[in-house]
């Protein structure tokens, strides 16, 4: 699925082929999707932002039309952040704003820490910091986010189980973490997600993303516990999502930021899909400030 009014492109970047869509004119804005989706996540959000920004929406490595390397280490948020730096430099941008949802928000957080002079504004959507989620793991969180530990099991165990019915498994994810229904998702976007996650290489890539979270990202975040995001930061979260039920989401981010605003969006974890109007309004206000 193409984002309306956007051009689809690919290029070899940071050692791997990365696919993205771009459109609009103005200051650059990078938008990163999450699990188990693709850049089609932004189809009903990005066109409005393109009225005031040059909007770039890549597929993360392991997802969509981007490459899917075999090594688990290749899926660390640090490595995926390097993809984004390479992409934006390829497009001629030395600094830019970033918005990310779910896994994309974790990549965006790492991007802002590792490349603080590059990121001008940051929005993270419906996550708490990785170390905060994993270190004092609560029973409620472990139950709701069991997929972190299922997907991280050694290959090929989760790939084999998911591969028997990828639609059934990944749709159960879309319907969790806030109680959405399939009818809440745009039919074309849902078709794009299905086409991507039916690919066995994508299944493996998404598992490797979660394997890397436990094997690499947790330790990277532990080493940076005192680090703070230097740029203005917006924290959006689903008012009915699993994270809002388990955490005071803004409070988890306040010590990580030098300047932060937070806002709950009606809906669960996938509020970008189910409430694109409110998502667009919040992003437009923040990135046009």
Active site residues: 102, 269
User: Is 280 in contact with 159 (CB distance < 8 Å)?
Assistant: no
Residue 27 CB burial class (10 angstroms; 0-12, 13-18, ≥19): middle
Q: How is residue 78 written in tokens?
A: 């640090």
Helix (H) or strand (E) holding 163: helix 157-163
What is the Cα Rg of the chain in Å? 17
The 96-101 sheet, strands edge to edge: 7-13, 16-23, 54-58, 28-32, 96-101, 119-125, 233-238, 260-265
Q: How far apart are alpha carbons 255 and 2 in whole angstroms? A: 38
> What residues have CB less than 8 Å from 285, skipping those under 6 apart?
none
User: Is 178 in contact with 268 (CB distance < 8 Å)?
Assistant: yes
Q: How is residue 201 written in tokens?
A: 């290489």
| Ordered alpha helix ranges (H), 56-129 | 77-90, 103-114
Q: Is the peptide bond before 36 cis (omega within 30 degrees of 0)?
A: yes
At residue 124's C-alpha, the angle toward residues 49 and 172, to 5°, is 95
Q: How far apart are alpha carbons 289 and 283 in whole angstroms? A: 10
């Amino acid at each position: 699925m193409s984002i309306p009014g956007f051009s689809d492109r690919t290029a070899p970047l940071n050692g791997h082929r990365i696919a993205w869509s771009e459109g609009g004119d103005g200051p650059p804005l990078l938008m990163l999707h999450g699990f188990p989706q693709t850049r089609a996540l932004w189809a009903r959000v990005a066109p409005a932002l393109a009225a005031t920004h040059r909007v770039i929406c890549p597929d993360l490595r392991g997802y969509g039309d981007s490459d899917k390397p075999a090594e688990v280490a290749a899926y660390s948020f640090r490595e995926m952040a390097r993809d984004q730096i390479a992409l934006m430099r390829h497009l001629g941008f030395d600094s830019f704003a970033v918005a990310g949802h779910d896994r994309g928000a974790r990549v965006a957080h790492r991007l802002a820490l590792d490349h603080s002079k590059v990121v001008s504004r940051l929005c993270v959507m419906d996550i708490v910091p990785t170390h905060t989620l994993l270190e004092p793991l609560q029973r409620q969180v472990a139950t709701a986010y069991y997929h972190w530990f299922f997907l991280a099991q050694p290959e090929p165990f989760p790939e084999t189980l998911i591969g028997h019915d990828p639609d059934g498994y990944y749709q159960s994810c879309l319907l969790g973490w806030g109680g959405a229904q399939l009818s809440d998702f745009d039919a074309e976007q849902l078709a794009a997600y299905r086409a991507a996650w039916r690919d066995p290489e994508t299944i493996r890539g998404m598992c490797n993303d979660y394997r890397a979270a436990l094997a690499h990202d947790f330790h990277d975040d532990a080493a940076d516990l005192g680090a703070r995001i230097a740029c203005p930061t917006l924290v959006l979260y689903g008012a009915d999502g699993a994270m809002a039920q388990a955490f005071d989401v803004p409070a988890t981010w306040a010590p990580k930021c030098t300047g932060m605003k937070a806002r709950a969006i009606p809906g669960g974890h996938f509020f970008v899909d189910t409430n694109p109007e409110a998502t667009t309004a919040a992003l437009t206000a923040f990135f046009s400030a």
